[in-house]
Amino acid sequence: MIRGSLAAAVLALVAALSLAGAPAGGASRGPRTIEVTIHFSRFDPGAFDVRPGERVRFVIRNLDPIDHEFIVGDERVQDAHERGTERVHPPRPGEVTVPALGSVETTYRFPVRPGSLLFGCHLPGHYAYGMRGTIDIG
């Protein structure tokens, strides 16, 4: 009887510690995943919300028969890429080339202060065409 009670107590303690260390809802501590689809030179979703300091894993799927890119950053970053000449981006957090009919992933940690950022594609004419979106950090 004592052995059974001890085993039950240990199991209860392990369960309590597991829940105490997990984020709300019992989710894992890994980054949250946001799936982004590119189709007809548009991002879907075109906007999303993140928490300050949150790490997000983006899975970007390009359904178009042409290359695109996915660049996360503020106005300064977007302007620099709009004027830039990088045809293909080496993988950097929040900056990836998305090949035609392909998928890529990038993980990005958002600033701890509330605010907003943008994401966009800066291949010639794409950003001006409207290939961009907003990220609310709050």
Q: Do 10 and 76 belong to one domain?
A: no
What pLDDT is stored for residue 75 in this prediction?
A: 95
Bridge partners of residue 58, in order along the sequence: 34, 106
Total-model pTM: 0.76
Peptide bond into 114 cis (omega under 30): no
What pLDDT is stored for residue 13 in this prediction?
A: 36
Task: Name the band, by pLDDT with cuts 50, 70 and 90, for residue 8.
Answer: very low
Q: Do 23 and 42 belong to one domain?
A: no
Q: Do 7 and 40 belong to one domain?
A: no
Q: Do 78 and 17 belong to one domain?
A: no
What pLDDT is stored for residue 21 in this prediction?
A: 37
Structural domain containing residue 107: 31-137
What pLDDT is stored for residue 91 in this prediction?
A: 72
What pLDDT is stored for residue 87 in this prediction?
A: 67
Q: Do 18 and 72 belong to one domain?
A: no
Give residue 5's identity as a one-letter amino acid code: S
Tens digit of each residue's pLDDT (9 = 90 or more) over 107-132: 999 999 999 999 999 999 999 999 99
- Residue from 121, 25, 40 nearest 82 by CA: 121
The CATH code of the domain that includes 131 is 2.60.40.420
Q: Do 84 and 114 belong to one domain?
A: yes
Tens digit of each residue's pLDDT (9 = 90 or more) over 63-102: 999 999 999 999 999 999 998 866 676 778 999 999 999 9
Alpha-carbon distance of 7 to 13, in angstroms, equals: 10
Q: Do 37 and 5 belong to one domain?
A: no
Q: Do 13 and 48 belong to one domain?
A: no
Tens digit of each residue's pLDDT (9 = 90 or more) over 23-59: 443 345 789 999 999 999 999 999 999 999 999 999 9
Q: Do 22 and 38 belong to one domain?
A: no
Task: Kindly state the tokens that stand for 104.
Answer: 């890529």
Burial grade of 43 (CB within 10 A; 0-12, 13-18, 19 or more): buried
Q: Do 43 and 72 belong to one domain?
A: yes
**How many structural domains is the chain composed of?**
2
Q: Do 52 and 75 belong to one domain?
A: yes
DSSP 26: G
Q: Do 61 and 89 belong to one domain?
A: yes
